[in-house]
Structure 1
Amino acid sequence: MIMENNFQRKYSTAISKGAGLIEETRRLLDHWRPDEPLDDFTHRVQVEGLLGNSTAYRTRDVVRRVFAPRLLRPNDKPARILKSVIESGLPARTFTELLFVFAARQDPLVYDFTVREYWPAARRGRSFLDTDPMLSFLSQAHYDGRLDNQWSENVSLRIARCVLGILRDVGFLRETVRGRREIVNYRMSDEGAAILARELNESGVTDSSICNHPDWSLFGMTPSDVVERLDEIGEQRGLIVQHGGSVVHFTWGVKSIQELINVLAR
């Protein structure tokens, strides 16, 4: 998936329907059936109380406006991958990282703020992140046309807190005393990196483009970081990386992403 030019990407309030929803998504995937119609799944989630005491309205919101856009559109491959990760017993962190990638791909606001504001702040050595940078980001987005209409102060503040919430949920921020959000020195897991590389490969991204793909920047990784990390993973975990100068070639010891997940889980 290649991201569009930033100035063609419109921002929405979609994140207000739920930040990371890590545990809720895991619970839904535990019961999700690949070929079940979405209406039937939504009804079953509600009838069986799979989201606890959520109201019918909240259940529909989570399933249809969060779960489905992130994991079932344009196809259900993200849901299948995450379900396999859960069933394999891989670390919970791997599930969270991949869920974040799929969520950010569907929400340009989350994607762009993470890449353009969070990671530059982390690299500058900033210790904490509050809502001010997010509010400034939204103000600039209104100025350059990424917001169709200027949001009210209350809406902007709510969205700012939701975006920071998803960064907290994935592990990039840590809540400290009095709600302060501390920037965490985060390093993507080897398992997450390997699965993302294979997912890009199966999506049609060429070897020469995988390490330059913008999705890695969601984890603050440069192309050279990606080459180094994937090279470290090694043949025993299903991947050989050959590189010289700007040329990178991948040799996969697995035939599918499912097989890779099985190898990583051993």
Structure 2
Amino acid sequence: MLSVKQISKHFGDKIVLEDISLEIAEGEFVSLIGPSGSGKTTLFNLIGGLLMPDGGEIWKNEDNITNTTGHISYMPQQASLFPWRTILQNVLIGQELQGRKEEGLAKEMLQKAGLGEVIHSYPHELSGGMKQRASFIRALLSPQSFLCLDEPFSALDEFTRLDMQKWLLHIWEDNQQSILFITHSIDEALFLSDKIVVLSAGPAKVKRVFEVPFARPRDEKILLSEEFLKWKRMVLEEVQR
């Protein structure tokens, strides 16, 4: 379990985060939604130990990980693959940094991701969706069990994005790693998540936490259901309030 306890952060006179508390259980998929500039990426940087909070603590199970690195795996908005490394070499880099390399597992996961034929290709030879899949496999193969995904599908077109969401659910259900996911899409958050945390405009505070009621495994048909639209309205009203 990851616990964020009363975290606050300011830059100069600007308060970005104020008394943020949330919990992500083992194997739970949690989405963060809030206005642009509400501090979601700053919160990721705090969880990852890249920034020091001005108040509060971050715990992973029984360990206080505040301002320490190496406890999470992070996937940014862009795939950020190294152009001089093949796809296989790219997905193995997290393991290499830890002094180990499970090439067989990497090839198996790339095969499941539909990338089995391009493992020796370079990033410039792949489509945007293929690069995002490779980036996600790299995050999964890192030794950390907690993943922070920062709007990984925001640059994709609508159809590719839905395909990637379905693929992400399929892979996640197989691996059951804990995920904290930033998105501006309520549809995406409802389709993917167990729980949605709504942040206010800056300084960001937790306005409300929604427990998503849809059973797993999920089918894209729920996106057009009355129940889904009802929950979308509820979340939207909270975001706009």
TM-score (norm 2): 0.32
The structure with the largest helix share of the pair is 1
- Please tell me whether Structure 1 or Structure 2 has the larger radius of gyration of its CA atoms: 1
The structure with the largest strand share of the pair is 2
Query: Which one scores higher on RCO, CA 8 angstroms, separation ≥ 6?
Result: 2
